[in-house]
Chain A
Amino acid sequence: MDPKLTEVSQLFDRFKAALLRNDFDSASNLLSQLKVLLTGFRSLPPLFADTPNAVQELTIARDIYEHAVVLSVKIEDQDAFERDFFQLKPYYTDARNRLPQSPQEYPILGLNLLRLLVQNRIAEFHTELELLSSAALENPCIKHAVELEQSFMEGAYNRVLSARQTVPHETYVYFMDLLAKTIRDEIAGCSEKAYDYLSINDAKQMLLFSSDQELLEYIKEEHSEWEVKNGAVYFQKAKESAPCKEIPSLQLINQTLSYARELERIV
C-alpha cells in the first residue's frame, strides 16, 4: 500500500478515536493535518487524476470529510459545517460513478438542508432539493427536512417545534434547537408588521416564551428598537415610512423632446 495512504489512514483512525472520545480540540487539529495531507493526492477533486489507488484514496477522503462534517456539528460551528460540506459534495456528485454510495450520504445531505432552513436560506434550500434524485427524496432524513420546510412555509410553527422529537439522526438535534430560534425571529418579524403593539402576555405567547424575563431579554438582545411600556410592546419605532420615489418626469420630457429634435435633423 502507498505509504502516504497508510499515513493518512493511521491519522484518520486517531481522528476517529478522538471524535469518539469527544476530544474536540485534538480532533480539530488532526483534521486540519489530514486535510493538508489530502491535498497531496492527485486523484481527489478537482483533479480526479487516474492513479492506481484512486478508489481507496477517494473513499478515505470522503470518509474524512464526512467525519469532519459531524465534528463541525458537534462543536456547533456552522461555518466549518458549510466549508466541510462543500468539500465533501464533489465526492457525492462528481465521484458518484467511481465509488459505492456512502451510508452517510443522505443523513449529511439532510443535515445540510436543515442548516439552510435554520439560516433561512430558502432559495438555496430549494436549489439543493432540485439536485436530489427522487429516490433520495424518499429517504427519511431528507423527507424530514422537506416536511419541516413545508410546515415552516405554511406558518405551522408548532408542527416544526414538535418535530424535534422525531429526528432521524442524533446530529439533527443541534439544528432543531437552532430552528426554534429561527422560527421565533420569523414570528417577531411578522408581529412587527402586523401589530402596532402587543401586550406582554400576548407577546410572550406569540413568541413562544415561557416567562416575561426571557421575552424581555430577547427584546433587549435582538430588537432593541422595540419599546416596552404600559405592560405592552410597541413596534411603532420600527415602522418608518419609506420615502416614495418620485418619477423623474421633467427629465424624461426633456430627453424625449431632444430626441425628436435630433430626429428631425437626421439626414
Chain B
Amino acid sequence: MVATTLVSSAGGMLAMLNESHLALKLHALYNLNNHVDNFWPEISPSVPLIESLYEDEEFDPHQRQLAALLLSKVFYYLGELNDSLSYALGAGPLFDVSEDSDYVHTLLAKAIDEYASFKSKSGESNDESIKVDPRLEAIVERLLDKCIADGKYQQAMGTAIECRRLDKLEEAITKSDNVQGTLSYCIHVSHSFVNLREYRQEVLRLLVKVFQKLPSPDYLSICQCLMFLDEPEGVASILETLLRSENKDDALLALQIAFDLVENEHQAFLLNVIDRLALPKSQLSEPVEPTPSDADSTQNAGVNGPDDVPMTEGESASAVNVPEDPSEKLYAERLNKIKGILSGETSIQLTLQFLYSHNKSDLLILKTIKQSVEMRNSVCHSATIYSNAIMHAGTTVDTFLRENLDWLSRATNWAKFSATAGLGVIHRGHLQQGRSLMAPYLPQGGTGGGGSPYSEGGALYALGLIHANHGEGIKQFLRDSLRSTTVEVIQHGACLGLGLASLGTADEDIYEEIKNVLYTDSAVAGEAAGISMGLLMVGTGSDKANEMLTYAHETQHEKIIRGLALGIALTVYGREEEADTLIEQMTRDQDPILRYGGMYALALAYRGTANNKAIRQLLHFAVSDVSDDVRRTAVLALGFVLYSDPEQTPRIVSLLSESYNPHVRYGAALAVGISCAGTGLSEAISLLEPLTSDVVDFVRQGALIAMAMVMVQISEASDSRVGTFRRQLEKIILDKHEDTMSKMGAILASGILDAGGRNVTIRLLSKTKHDKITAVVGLAVFSQFWYWYPLIYFISLAFSPTALIGLNYDLKSPKFEFLSHAKPSLFEYPKPTTVPTTASTVKLPTAVLSTSAKAKARASKKAEEQKANAEVASGPDSTSAAGKGKSSGEKDGEAMQVDSPAEKKSEPEPSFEFLTNPARVVPAQEKFIKFLQDSRYVPVKLAPLGFVLLKDLRPTEPEVLAITDTPASTTSTAGGSGPGLQSSSSAMAVDEEPQPPQPFEYTS
C-alpha cells in the first residue's frame, strides 16, 4: 500500500478560492481551515482575499463565519491577536471554546483579558457608555458555562472575578459540589488577586450573601468576610445568634470566631462589635463590665482566675441542671466570655501564660554580650538592653535586669528612657499589673517623685507598649500624664504611649491633645507627637493627614517633619488607591524628608498587596531620587508591599542589594528582612549572607538584623546556616575591633533571633491571610530606628506567639495531646549556648558564674524578705504556697524535659512526637500537626496554630487542666500594687534556682 500522501502546499486550495463558483470557494475554505496549522505562511498573503469573502454580503452566513474562523487562525499564527480575536468573534458558533488547541487556548485567554479590561474600565469610570461587544461577552459566557458544566469551578470563579461577572461567580459557587471549599478558595482569590479595594468588597459582599444562603453557614468565614467589609453589625448579630443557641457547640463556635477576629488585631472594629452585642434582657446581679478600664473588676478577675479552676465543672454542671431562667443566664455568661475575648484580654492573658511558662531564653547569651561590651560604649550598652527586652518580650521575665542593676544604672539620659521602656516590652500584654509594675518609674503627680524625666518618659512609653492596641484601660492615665507635664522628654514618652495604646481608634479628643503638644514646636516632643498622631489615625485615611502635612511644611525642625511624615504615612495604611493623591503630593515634595514619608505612605497604603504600580514607583524612587534617605526607604518599602508574597522579594531586590550605594544595600537587606520575616526562606538567607560582611558598617548592621528577622525560630536542623549565623553573631560581639554600628546590629540580631523567650515569630499576616495591622505598623515604626533608637521597641508589636493553645468551653486549656508528625529535632528549641562555648571561651563561664552567684545570693535574700512582706501584706498563705507548688511542678517538668533529649541521643530519632496543650508550634511545623483520632477533645475548627476551641466528647469525665504558671504570678502580685513588683521578682528568683543543673546534664 502506498503511504498516506501529505499535502505540500496550500497553493491549490488558495487558487480554488478564486474560482467563481460558490461551492468551490466553500470547499477551498473548508480545506484551508483544516490545513491552516501547517500552511498559514502560504495563506497569509491571501488574507485580503479571504477578508473580502468574509465581508461579501452575498455569501451565506455559514460561509462567512468559516472565512472569519480561517482569518482568525491565520492572524493568530501571525501574532496579531487583536485581529485574530475580532475575527474569531465573527466566526460565531464555529469558534469552539472546548477545542483543545493552542489556538483556542490563546484566544480564550485573550478574549478574557479583553473582556476583563473592558469590564474593569467601565467599572472604574462607572460609565455605562462603554459597551462591550456582545459577541465577546457571549464567548466569555460560553466559556464560563462550560467550565461550570465541566466541574472546573475554580477556573470559572477566577475568570468570573477577573471579568467582574458576579452573577456568574455566584452561579459557579452555588453549583459546585463542594460549596465550602469553593467559597474559601474564592475568599483566598479575592484577597490575593483582586487589586481594587472597592471591587474586592463587592466580591466579599456577594460571598457573604452566598454563605448565608447555605443550609449550614460557615460562620467563621462569614465573620472574616464581614470584618474585611468592616460591618460590625453583621458580626455582632451572628455572634448573638450563636450565643443564644441551646447548643453548646454553637457557643464554642462563637468563641472561636471571636478569637479569630482578635487575631487580626483590628481594634476599632472589635470595639464596635462589642458595643453592638445586645445586653441580656434581664440584668444579672453581678455587673457585666467587659472593659478593663475598671481596675477593680480586672483585679477581681485576676483573683477569681485561679479559684475558678476547681469550680468550673461544678458551675457548668449547675448551668445544665438548673433550668431557672436558663437561656438568659446562659447568654449573659457567654456574652461575658465573648466580650473578654473580643476586647483581647483573654487572648493576651493566655499568650502571657504561654510565653511565661514556656520561656526558653538563654541568659548566657546576654551575659556574654554584657561581658564583651565595653562599659563606656553607650550605644552597645543600650543595644544590650534592647536586646534583652526583645529576647524576653512578653515573657515578664526581667531577671537579667534585676541581676545587673549596677550595670543598668550606667544608662543615662535617653539610654535611661529606653531602659525603662524596655520593661514595657518585657511585660507586654501584662494588662492587669502593667501599671503597678511601672509605678516606681511613673511621674508622681507633680510632687517630683525623684525620678528623672527620662525614666518617667520611658515608663509612659512602656505603658503604651504593654497596652499596645488594647489600651482602653490606660488611655485616660496617659492623657492625664501628657496634660500635666511640660517636660518634653515626658511628653515624648506619653505621646508614644498614647499612640500605641489607642492605635487606630481615631479618637478626636486624644488627637487634639497630641496636636497641642505638636504645636509647642519642640523637636523631641513633636517627633513623637507626629508618630503618635499617625498611630492614632492608622488606616482611617482621614483629612487630618493634610493638616499634618501643612504643619510639616511650617515647622523648622527636621525631627518633627520626620515624625509627621511617618504619621501621615500611617494614616493611609491599607487605603490603596484612595491614598494616591496624598502619596503623589508627598513624593513630589521639595523636602526629602516628606518624600521619605511618601515612601512609607506607599509602603503602608499598598501593604502586602504586591501591587505592580506601587512596586514600579518604589523601584523608580530607589534608583532616581537624589536623597539617600529616600532611596533607602524606597527599597525598604518594597518589603512591606511584598510581604504577602515573600518568595518574590529576594528576586526583586537582588539587583539592588549589589548597588554601589550603601543606603540602597541597607534598604534591600531590611526589605528582605521585613517581607521574609520568620520564613527562613533560603533565597532570602543567600541574599543576606554576603551583606553581613559588607564593607560599610551600617549595611552590616541592617543585614544582621534582617537575617535575624528571617531566621527567627528556624532551627539549625532545618537550615544549617542558622548555626553559622549564631556563631557569626557571637564572633562580631566578641571582636574588639568591630565597628560599633555592626556590633549593635549583632547585639540586636541576637535579641531578635531568640525573641520572646524563643516562642514568638514575626508575622505580618494572620492565619486567614489578613494583614495584622499592629504588626505591620510595628515594623514600619521599628524601621525608623535608624534615626531614633527607642523606636526599636516597636518590633515587639510584630511578635506573635507560635503556640497551639487548645481551650475548652470555660476558656481553660485542658490537658490533651496531639501529634507533630515530624522529627522533633526539626523544630526544637536551640540548645543552650553553654555546650559550644565552654571549649572556646573557658574564662567566660567562670566570670559569669561568680557574678551570677552573687546576684543570686542577693536575689534570694531579697526574695525571702519580700516573701515575708507579702505574707504580712496579704493575709491568705495560699498565695505563696500556690506559687511554690507551681514552681516545684515546673521544676519537675524541667527535669523531665532535660532528661528526654539525653535519652534520645542513643536511639534513632523518632519521626513524630506528642505535644501537650498548650504547646509551641512553629510556623514551619504547622503542616505536621495532627489531632489524635481517639482524643477526648475535637477542635471546632481545624487549625494548627493559635487559639483553638475544643469540643469535649466526654463531658462527664473530670477534666485535667494543663498547669500554667500565670496563677502563680497573678496571685503573688494580687497582694498590692507596691510589693507586687518585688513579689513577682521573688517568683522569678525561685524559678531561677533549679536551672543551673541543666548544663551538667549535658556534659556528663
Contacts and interface: CB of A to CB of B under 8 A. Distances in A.
A102 to B, nearest CB: 16
Contacts of A39: 23-24, 27
Given A94-B8, A95-B5, A35 B15 contact: no
A105 interface: no
Nearest to A55: B2
Contacts of A46: 7, 10, 12-13, 31, 34-35
Nearest to B619: A267
A89 interface: yes
Contact of B664 (A36, A89, A94, A267): A267
Interface string A44-80: 0111101000000000000000000000000000010
Contact of A90 (B2, B9, B24, B658): B9
Nearest to A79: B18
Nearest to B27: A39
B16 A98 contact: no
B632 to A, nearest CB: 13
Nearest to A36: B23
Interface string B620-639: 00011000000000000000
B655 interface: yes
Nearest to A98: B2
B447 interface: no
B12 A86 contact: yes
Contacts of A50: 1, 4
A97 interface: yes
Contacts of A88: 12
Contacts of A85: 15
A229 B279 CA distance: 114
Interface in B10-42: 10-16, 18-21, 23-24, 27, 31, 34-35
Given A45-B7, A50-B4, A267-B659, A87 B12 contact: yes
A88 B658 CA distance: 67
B7 A94 contact: yes
Interface centre among B15, B656, B658, B664 (most CB of A within 10 A): B15
Q: Interface residues of A: mostly helix, strand, loop or mixed?
A: helix
Given A36-B21, A39-B23, A48 B5 contact: yes
Contacts of A47: 31
B19 A35 contact: yes
B242 to A, nearest CB: 55
Contact of A35 (B5, B24, B35): B24
A97 B623 contact: no
Interface centre among B6, B14, B19 (most CB of A within 10 A): B19
Contact of B9 (A83, A89, A267): A89
A88 B18 CA distance: 14
B20 A32 contact: yes
A39 B28 CA distance: 9
Contacts of B11: 86, 89-90
B737 to A, nearest CB: 31
B624 A265 contact: yes
Interface centre among A39, A46, A87, A90 (most CB of B within 10 A): A46
Contacts of B655: 267
A88 B13 CA distance: 10
Nearest to B1: A50
A149 interface: no
A30 B16 CA distance: 16
A35 B20 CA distance: 11
Contacts of B35: 46
B661 interface: yes
A97 B5 contact: yes
A79 B13 CA distance: 15
17 contacts: A32-B19, A35-B24, A39-B27, A45-B12, A48-B7, A83-B15, A83-B19, A85-B15, A86-B12, A86-B15, A89-B9, A90-B8, A93-B8, A94-B7, A94-B8, A95-B5, A267-B661
Interface of B: 1-2, 4-16, 18-21, 23-24, 27, 31, 34-35, 623-624, 655-656, 658-661, 664
Interface of A: 32, 35-36, 39, 45-48, 50, 79, 82-90, 93-95, 97-98, 265-267
**List of 3 A-B pairs having minimum Cβ-Cβ separation, nearest first:** A86-B15, A39-B27, A46-B7
Given A48-B5, A48-B7, 5 more contacts: A36-B24, A39-B24, A46-B34, A48-B4, A90-B11
